[in-house]
Amino acid sequence: ATVFAKLDANYGYWQVALDDESQLLTTFNTEFGRYCYRRMSFGIKSAQEVFQKRMSQLFGDFEGVETEVDDILVWGTTTEEHDQRLKNSLQRCEEINLTLNQSKCEFGTTEVVYIGHKLTAQGVKPDESKVDAINKMPSPTCKKDAERLLGMVNCEIYPQHVYYHRPD
C-alpha cells in the first residue's frame, strides 16, 4: 500500500442502538426514577466486542479496508485504488448513518498511525511516540514498574524481549 486514509467513528459506541431486551439490561436507579440506555454505552462489558463485530460485518466485504473498534483504515496501491475504496467506505458510512469525527480523520496520506503502528509504503514501523514514551520511562525499581515497562514493550517493537522475560 502507498496511499492511506483513516476514518474515526464519532462516539462509536453511542451510534449503536440497543434493542428493547438489551436496554432493560442497562437499567439503573436514580432519585428521579429508573432509566436505561437506548444506545450502547462505554462501560458495558461486551461493548467493544459487539461494536468490533458490527464494524467487521459492515466493512468486511471491502477489499483494502480494515476496522479496529471505531477506526477504519483504507489503503490502496495507487491513488485511484485508494480513492475508490475510500469512496465506497464513505458511502457505506452514509448508508448505515455512521458519523465520523472529521478532526480525527486523515485522507490520502503516505503514512498513517493505526493501532499503535506506523504504516508506510516501506512497511510497518513502530509509532515514534510510543518509542519515545518507552525511552523516557524511568528504570524499573520494583515489580510493578517492571510490569509497566513490559506492558509498554511489545513483541513488534522489541521482539527479543519475549526470550529474556519468558517464564522458567
| 58 φ/ψ sector (left φ>0, alpha ψ -120 to 50, else beta) | alpha
Percentage with pLDDT > 70 across the chain:
91
Region 59-85: mean pLDDT is 96
> What is the radius of gyration, based on Cα positions, of the chain?
20
Fold of 3-11+48-126: Alpha-Beta Plaits (3.30.70)
Domain chopping of the chain, boundaries? 3-11+48-126, 127-167
Express each pLDDT in 129-154 by its tens digit: 888 888 888 888 998 888 888 777 76
Taking the C-alpha atoms of residue 165 and residue 163, their distance in angstroms, rounded to an integer, is 6
Q: Note the pLDDT of residue 161.
A: 54
